[in-house]
Structure 1
Amino acid sequence: MIKVEDVHKSFGSEEILKGISTTFEKGKTNLIIGQSGSGKTVMLKCLIGLFRPEEGRIYYEDKAIQDMDEEEQRELREQIGMLFQGGALFDSMTIEENVMFPLRMFTKQKKADMLARVNEVLKRVDLENVNKKFPAQISGGMQKRVSIARAIVNKPKFLFCDEPNSGLDPRTATLIDNLIQEITHENDITTVVVTHDMNSVMEIGENIVLLKKGKLAWQGDKEDIFKTDNKDVVNFVYSSDLFKKIRNVQLKEE
């Protein structure tokens, strides 16, 4: 679990996060949604420690990042997996080398043990026999699955995903969503996904945090999102491509 208490973050005179308090639950896919400029990316960077809030506290389980010494922060970094928006694979490394990278960085395992773990996670994301290929030799969807394998190779307690469906076709995007959720449940991970994609919200939104202009506007799950009369939720849903498609189908049926 990750608990956020009254977090404020500014850049110069501009306040981006304005007193956000929320909880991201263990064993669930927690989504941060909102329009561009709502503070989603800044919130994510505060959660993973890239930005330090001027006010407020962020707790990983029962310890605030602000209270951790250097060794505790290093240990926390080892427990975090990160899925970047563009995949962020190293072009000059093979798939095997890319996935092994966190193990080389954070562990002192023998090469054989690292390779066994690499093969295990590649199999989990349905990518076998691609070890010696380079990222440019596989599709965008396969690259994203490699990125997921790399993010979980160190058996993280916390998984962060920044726009994981960016650039993917709808079918592949759904497969990636479902894979992230399955891995979250299987390993009881606290997963936080930043997205603007309503398809993802409806697929895997077990705990949804809606930000608007740096404030928490609403929190609920995918079952609640079409039932609430919260104006900010309604505006976000109605502006989505998914809703427009659903509404067009309804109009044709009428």
Structure 2
Amino acid sequence: MIEVKDLHKSFGGAHILKGISTTFEKGKTSLVIGQSGSGKTVFLKCLLGLFSPEEGTISYDGKIYSELSGDQKSDLRAEMGMVFQGSALFDSMTILENVMFPLRMFTKQSKSEMQERANFVLKRVNLAEDDHNKFPSEASGGMQKRVAIARAIVNKPNYLFCDEPNSGLDPKTAMVIDNLIQEITEEYNITTIINSHDMNSVMEIGQKIVFLKDGLKEWEGSRDNVFKTDNEAVTDFVYSSELFKKVRQMYLEERV
């Protein structure tokens, strides 16, 4: 579990995060949503330990990050997996070598042990063995996302962070990636936090949703709560398309 209490972060004279408090539970996919400039990226970087907030605390299963020593912070970072928006694979490495990279960084495993673990997680994300020795440039966008997920979980993280994991994907592939992230979250009991603007993801895997607006936590709830809320800021954001307006109307009519 990750617990955030009264988080504040500023840059220069700009107050970006304005007292955010929330919790993210193990084994659940939590989505952070909001318009550009709402503070989503800064919030995620604070959770990753890349930014230090001026006020407030972030606790990882009871360990307050700001109170840890340098070595303890390094150990905690080794428990984190990250899926970047553009996958961020190393072009000069094969798919297998990309997935082995965190093991080289954070473990003392032998080469054969690292290869065995990397092959295991690549199989878990449904990537054919024939593809393991390809380079990222030879892989489709969907394949690259699978590789990025495999790399993020290869070191058996307790916390998984995803920044716009569906960016650049067609709707069908995006749904496959969403479902894969949720399956892995539940299977390995990971605390998963996803920054997203994709409303399909919200409705598909949003077990918890945190909506940020102007650096504040405007609203939080589940995907079912999204249909029920009368918070105007949330409904304006989520139901900006006619499709989702119709979906919400159908949902409400079924419960009359």
TM-score range, shorter chain: over 0.9
Is the CA contact (8 Å cut-off) linking 1:7 and 1:21 kept in structure 2? yes
1:237 is matched with: 238
Poorly superposed stretches of 4+, deviation over 3 Å = 244-247
Separation (CA, whole Å) in 2 of partners of 1:242 and 1:140: 26
**TM-score (norm. length: structure 1):** 0.95
Using the size of structure 2 for normalisation, the TM-score is 0.95
SS at match of 1:17: strand
How many angstroms does 1:240 deviate by?
A: 4.2
Cα pair 1:33 1:40 within 8 Å, conserved: yes
Matched with 1:143 is 144
**Alpha-carbon shift at residue 116 of structure 1 (Å):** 0.6
Query: Which residue number corresponds to residue 214 of structure 2?
Result: 213
> Residues 28 and 185 of structure 1 are in contact (CA less than 8 Å); yes or no, is this contact kept in structure 2?
yes
Question: Residues of 2 paired with 1:118 and 1:134: CA distance?
Answer: 15
Distance 1:12 1:161 in 2: 27
Rounded to whole Å, the distance in 2 between the matches of 1:39 and 1:241 is: 26
2:114 & 2:147 partners in 1: Cα distance? 16
Tell me the distance in 2 between the aligned counterparts of 1:67 and 1:58. Answer: 10
Pair 9,134 (structure 1): closer, same or farther in 2 beyond 3 Å: same
1:51-100 per-residue CA deviation (whole Å, 9 max, x = no partner) reads 00011000011111100001110110110000000000000100010000
Task: Tell me if the contact between 1:8 and 1:17 (Cα under 8 Å) persists in the aligned partners.
Answer: yes
**Structure 1 partner of 2:180:** 179
Deviation at 1:128, TM superposition (A): 2.2
Change (3 A) 1:29 1:231: same
Aligned to 2:223: 222
What corresponds to 1:38 in structure 2?
38
**SS in structure 2 at match of 1:87:** coil
Map 1:125-204 to 2 at 5 A: 125-129=125-129, 130-204=131-205
Q: Distance in 2 between matches of 1:25 and 1:10?
A: 27
Asked if the contact 1:119–1:128 (Cα under 8 Å) also holds between the matched residues in 2, the reply is no
Q: Paired residue for 1:115?
A: 115
Instruction: Decide which moves more: 162-171 or 237-246.
Output: 237-246
> How much has 1:4 moved relative to structure 2?
0.4
Matching residue's letter, 1:13: G
Counterpart CA distance in 2 for 1:148 and 1:105 is 17
- Aligned pair count reads 250
Task: Determine the C-alpha separation between the residues in 1 that align with 2:246 and 2:12.
Answer: 41
Aligned CA RMSD, in angstroms, stands at 1.6
Whole-Å separation in 1 of the counterparts to 2:76 and 2:243: 37
Which deviates more from structure 2 when the two are superposed, residues 120-129 or residues 97-106?
120-129
* Residue type of the alignment partner of 1:86: G
Structure 1 gap ranges (5+):
250-254
TM alignment of 1:76-95, pairs within 5 A: 76-95=76-95
Deviation for aligned residue 1:112: 0.9
Query: How many angstroms apart in 1 are the aligned matches of 2:159 and 2:150?
Result: 14
